[in-house]
């Protein structure tokens, strides 16, 4: 598996076939994980050639519907699919409140809906700090918006960072500083904020996601360059992939 991130969904709670809700696929040699799993993302996973047992680690930035709701069909298919049943355990990570959220979600459906003895679901409530998954360490950083936490890691001395949902420009600047690739919520923050973040955090590539409306990539880059940013702002597209070197 080559190291890469794939932006599976660049939209939010809008029904747009080319911009599904939030999810980023992270592949790091021996570890594959999902950061968020919004509505429609299972289809994007199929398009990426992935099956149930390929996804064993899911991190939820926070518990809003545009970030979590494809957990429901994922779990049902894990139990009942005849063509792709799950046999490997599933680990779900998230901020404080994850255990209660998950229990309430299961309660919405009849008791047998998610019962299966081929695998176990492990729920990991993560405090602010560091998450360890199969030998990799990830920074898990509170960024204001409904308990949201951003995810950041270092590979080959390069920083990679995903904000999840947030509107706090100052905290985002500290969180993204000098990143090789920074995936940001450009829905809660406007074009001016994105340009300010680019200038002060200086990521090599700043990828805009969680889009409520289309952004003018050329204009963003021009205005950011005018105030001294020398990286690249990219308006994300679903299934856009970035190799990590």
Q: What per-residue string of b and e applies to 47-80 under the rule 16 or more CB within 10 Å gives b?
A: eeebebeebbbbbbbbbbebbbbbbbebbebbbe
Q: How far is the CB of 39 from Zn ion (least distance, A)?
A: 11
Query: What distance in Å separates the CA atoms of residue 61 and residue 66, rounded to the nearest whole number?
Result: 11
Q: How far is the CB of 145 from Zn ion (least distance, A)?
A: 8
Smaller CB distance to Zn ion: residue 66 or 238? 66
**Binding residues for Zn ion, how many (CB under 5 A)?**
3
Stretch that binds Zn ion, among 96-104, 125-133, 157-165, 195-203 (CB under 5 A): 157-165
Distances (CA, A) of 110 to 39, 76, 87, 226: 21, 11, 22, 58
Binding to Zn ion (CB under 5 A): which residues in 163-182? 165
DSSP-H helix ranges across the chain: 41-47, 65-68, 71-80, 98-107, 169-176, 191-201, 217-226
Question: Any idea what the Cα angle at residue 48 is, between residues 114 and 164, rounded to 5°?
Answer: 70
Smaller CB distance to Zn ion: residue 63 or 102? 63
Q: How far is the CB of 9 from Zn ion (least distance, A)?
A: 10
Smaller CB distance to Zn ion: residue 20 or 244? 20
Query: What distance in Å separates the CA atoms of residue 134 and residue 203, rounded to the nearest whole number?
Result: 27
Phi/psi at 181 (nearest 5 deg)? Answer: -135, 130
Binding to Zn ion (CB under 5 A): which residues in 2-21? 12
Smaller CB distance to Zn ion: residue 166 or 221? 166
The answer to whether residue 36 forms part of the interface with Zn ion (CB under 5 A) is no
Smaller CB distance to Zn ion: residue 167 or 242? 167
Interaction pattern, residues 49-88, with Zn ion; x per rule: CB under 5 A: -----------------x----------------------
Task: List interacting residues with Zn ion (CB under 5 A).
Answer: 12, 66, 165
């Amino acid at each position: 598996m080559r190291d890469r991130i794939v932006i599976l969904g660049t939209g939010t709670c809008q029904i747009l076939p080319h911009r599904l809700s939030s999810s980023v696929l992270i592949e790091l040699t021996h570890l594959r994980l999902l950061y968020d799993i919004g509505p429609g993302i299972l289809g994007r996973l199929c398009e990426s050639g992935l099956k149930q047992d390929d996804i064993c680690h899911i991190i939820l930035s926070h518990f809003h519907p545009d970030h979590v709701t494809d957990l429901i069909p994922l779990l049902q298919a894990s139990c009942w699919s005849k063509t792709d049943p799950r046999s490997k355990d599933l680990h779900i990570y998230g901020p404080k409140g994850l255990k209660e959220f998950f229990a309430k979600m299961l309660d919405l459906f009849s008791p047998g809906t998610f019962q299966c003895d081929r695998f176990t679901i492990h729920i990991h409530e993560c405090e602010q700090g560091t998450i360890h998954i199969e030998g990799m360490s990830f920074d898990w950083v509170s960024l204001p918006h409904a308990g949201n936490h951003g995810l950041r890691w270092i590979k080959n001395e390069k920083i990679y960072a995903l904000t999840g949902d947030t509107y706090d420009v100052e905290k985002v600047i500290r969180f993204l500083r000098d990143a090789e690739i920074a995936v940001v919520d450009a829905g809660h923050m406007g074009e001016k904020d994105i340009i300010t973040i680019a200038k002060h955090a200086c990521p090599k590539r700043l990828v805009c996601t969680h889009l409520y409306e289309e952004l003018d990539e050329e204009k963003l880059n021009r205005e950011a360059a005018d105030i001294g940013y020398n990286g690249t702002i990219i308006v994300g597209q679903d299934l856009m992939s970035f190799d990590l070197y």
